[in-house]
């Protein structure tokens, strides 16, 4: 059996996040929400988000595969396949379905904001391929996979993993790399691919029940 309590905690908070996020998307026009988040800044947050955002890099997926693979090589392979699948989907959307989707700073070149956005030193700002957020998809897939593997009876650890995913997604907006809708969709993709991947693997390969 693959995890019960831990997954339920993670998914309950995730569903609440989706509901709240949908309400924000409905009530706030782009880029009002992004500029508001970006305006809550200070030197300590700059430093924190500049580095925490890298947890959404592909290298983090490699690290997760290695860690999980040490305990169970089959589950390590599953996480690797989930990482490849979500990466292909995200990059396909970025480069083929929505190649001209502007990043916030490019958007502001043609839509002058009421307040100038705050930029963090040392962060390279991109112009296009904004939708969806690959970093967000990656970190949600990683953290939910860790929940499936390690947190069956550790609800607090599942809560912590969700908060890590949320903070990385938040960092993408704070750093002016993505709009909220990019992060929102990234979270959906990461969780969807992970759930489908684990359920298929459990049914046809691991022969374990996912509750």
Looking at the predicted structure, is the pLDDT value of residue 56 above 60?
Answer: yes
Q: Which domains does the chain have, with CATH numbers?
A: 5-23+35-206 (1.20.144.10)
Banded pLDDT at 2 (limits 50, 70, 90) = low
The tens digit of pLDDT for each residue in 136-170 reads 999 999 999 999 998 767 889 999 999 999 999 99
User: Is residue 182 within 8 Å of residue 131, measured between CB atoms?
Assistant: yes
Sign (positive or negative) of CA dihedral 139, 142, 147, 148 = positive
Mean of pLDDT over the chain: 92
Looking at the predicted structure, is the pLDDT value of residue 185 above 80?
Answer: yes
Looking at the predicted structure, is the pLDDT value of residue 1 above 70?
Answer: no
Banded pLDDT at 208 (limits 50, 70, 90) = low
pLDDT > 90: percent of the chain: 80
Instruction: Report d(CA 117, CA 123) in Å as an integer.
Output: 14
The tens digit of pLDDT for each residue in 66-86 reads 999 999 999 999 999 999 999
Residue 14 vs residue 202, higher pLDDT: 14
Alpha-carbon separation of residue 130 from 47, 48, 102, 150 (angstroms) = 23, 22, 6, 32
What's residue 3's pLDDT? 52
Q: Whole-model pTM?
A: 0.94
């Amino acid at each position: 059996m693959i995890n019960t309590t831990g997954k339920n905690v993670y998914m309950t908070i995730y569903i609440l996040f989706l509901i709240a996020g949908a309400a924000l998307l409905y009530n706030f026009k782009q880029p009002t929400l992004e500029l508001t988040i970006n305006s809550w800044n200070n030197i300590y947050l700059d430093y924190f988000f500049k580095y925490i955002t890298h947890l959404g890099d592909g290298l983090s997926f490699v690290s997760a595969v290695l860690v999980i693979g040490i305990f169970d090589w089959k589950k390590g392979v599953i996480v690797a396949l989930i990482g490849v699948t979500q990466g292909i989907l995200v990059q396909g959307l970025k480069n083929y379905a929505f190649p001209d989707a502007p990043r916030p700073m490019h958007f502001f070149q043609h839509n002058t904001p009421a307040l100038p956005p705050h930029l963090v030193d040392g962060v390279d700002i991109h112009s296009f391929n904004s939708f969806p957020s690959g970093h967000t998809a990656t970190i949600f897939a990683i953290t939910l996979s860790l929940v499936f593997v390690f947190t069956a009876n550790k609800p607090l650890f599942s809560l912590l993993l969700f908060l890590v995913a949320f903070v990385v997604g938040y960092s993408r907006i704070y750093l002016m790399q993505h709009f909220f809708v990019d992060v929102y969709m990234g979270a959906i993709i990461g969780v969807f691919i992970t759930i489908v991947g684990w359920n298929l693997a459990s049914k046809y390969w691991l022969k374990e029940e996912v509750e």
